[in-house]
Amino acid sequence: TFSTITGSLTGTPTNDDIGTTSGIVISVADAANASDSLAAFNLTVSNTNDAPVITGTPATTVAEDTAYSFTPIVSDVDVGDTQSFS
């Protein structure tokens, strides 16, 4: 968020914001329309690891001599992460 009153640039980036925003310029002007600007800068949001999420409802009983199988559902917002189970 950018405040046109204070010039403050604030926020909490998410996974959707990972990457670089280039050419950010913050300027100030007075009532007589005199102005000045900071040099353009880049802002890079780096990724932090997010824990994978596991879901599913395993059957809690199985009859004797009957095969049992359960495979949980796993999701991970971090592209390219490899999960292991224990």
What SS3 state is found at 44? strand
**Domain residue spans in the chain?**
15-75
How would you label 29-41 residue by residue, b for 16+ Cβ within 10 Å and e otherwise? Answer: eeeeeeeeeeeee
For position 79, what pLDDT does the model report? 82
For position 53, what pLDDT does the model report? 98
- How would you write the pLDDT of the chain (86 residues) with one tens digit per residue? 999 999 999 999 999 999 999 999 999 999 999 999 999 999 999 999 999 999 999 999 999 999 999 999 999 998 889 999 99
